[in-house]
Amino acid sequence: MRVLIKNCNLISMSENRKKYEENIDLLIEDKQITRIDKGIEEKVDKVIDATGKIIMPGLINTHSHISMSIFRETVDGYKTQDWLKEKIWPMEDKLQEEDIYWATLLSCIEMIKTGTTTINDMYFMTDKIIEAALETGIRLQTTRTLMGYEEKDDQRLKELEELIEKYNQDTISFNVGIHGLYTSNEQYVKKCIEFAENKNLPIHMHFCENEQEREDIKRDYNVKTPVEVILRDFKCTHNILAHSVKLDEQDIKVLSKTNSYISHCPVSNLKLGCGIAKIKEMLENGLCVSLGTDGQGSGSNLDMFETMKFTALLQKGVNENPELLPAYEILKMATINGAKALKLDKEIGSIEIGKKADIIMINVNNILTQPINNVFAEIVYNVKGTDVEMTMINGKIIMKNKELEGIKETQICEKCNQIIQRISK
């Protein structure tokens, strides 16, 4: 399949190109971008007229639990641990494999429609998550959530190894998903670290999301700060640390000496009353910051445009400095930084020759965005996920003119409503 995108306004996120280029053509052959130029004339299977539209890399969500779409808006009025213990874990105990499939389908549609092409997910019954991702075309990095205190919990590592051996699709990759230091003992965590080192896989983990978690880790691991555990035990692994809200400036300096990448989830952190991560200090210390939505139970939705806006506004506001985090830096967090966090930056995260064609097209010709004085700021502050008109993943057009072919959205919504009604009783 050869696709030619004509006359776009390109934000490639490539260090080797201008930040913004007008009237550019892109040639996609099968899964890859093969030409970027003006006036490309080639015989192709499909031409997409992108005149007046913005083409940019698909957004990359580096922390979520996409099967939790059915738990949307269950958290209001709860603290994190209370919400999990009193609401979520009792309902999750009733979930069946088919429930996971339908709930994941709902999230995949939401992502495709709002411009996210890659998701880093952490949950269980992972086969059904992968099935839904393959069916819809979403690029998925996933795991089997790992948590344990006893020898019998090693079974979860065996399940992850079986998943890795089973799936060899180029839109599916894996990491070692340790739920958190506070939900496993030190012995089990070290087994997970060894597994990651042997398989050369990243580790994905909740880290210092709230004060209670921080205190639990200090007690259970006999450390003055949770960062000591990362420095001591995770020094040889590639670490994706979700949240990282409760870190002081010294913690951040220490963390910058490790191979750790931050997944910032501002909406979820605000909604759960966790606080605001020190993103300014993280960037000043050279940490790579990417963006996540968390699951819809705490993050409400998977719209990464909303996440970008919150990220920028919060850091400007709490630091009382409007010069912080220019819009282009926020776009990096949502694209190429996310690819670096997932160890996929050689394949995705920017529009460059040889990379996979994970591309979105945005229509900015509407009352909320016109006139455009700063295109990067428009995308961060004014564009909504619903402004995405076309989504391409791995060279395949998944959504065109805001329509997904072959997806019965009404049926999926009905199924998800039936699931939550059953398990919430």
Where do the structural domains in the chain lie, given as residue ranges?
Answer: 2-56+358-404, 59-341
Predicted confidence at residue 79, as pLDDT, reads 83
Instruction: State the average pLDDT over residues 76-80.
Output: 84
| CATH hierarchy code of domain 2-56+358-404 | 2.30.40.10
CA atoms within 13 A on the CB side of 3: 19
CATH 3.40.190.10 describes domain 59-341: no
394, 139 contact by CB (below 8 A): yes
Residue of 206, 217, 151, 150 whose CA lies nearest to 179: 206
Whether the predicted pLDDT of 200 surpasses 90: yes
For position 77, what pLDDT does the model report? 85
Residue 81, pLDDT score: 80
Contact by Cβ (8 Å): 360, 112: no
Place of tokens 């030190």: 186
pLDDT in tens, 150-184: 989 999 999 999 999 999 999 999 999 999 999 99
Q: How far apart are CA 296 and CA 74, in angstroms?
A: 9
Tell me how far apart the terminal alpha carbons of the chain are, to the nearest angstrom. 49
Label the pairing between strands 396-400 and 388-393. antiparallel
pLDDT value for 417: 97
Per-residue pLDDT tens over the stretch 15-50: 999 999 999 999 999 999 999 999 999 999 999 999
Q: Please, are residues 403 and 38 in contact by the beta-carbon 8 Å criterion?
A: no
Residues 6+ apart with CB under 8 A from 75: 83, 87, 271, 272, 297, 298
pLDDT tens digits, one per residue of 297-306 = 999 999 999 9
Give yes or no for a cis peptide into 266 (omega within 30° of 0).
no
Asked if residue 80 has pLDDT above 90, the reply is no
Provide the pLDDT for residue 78.
85
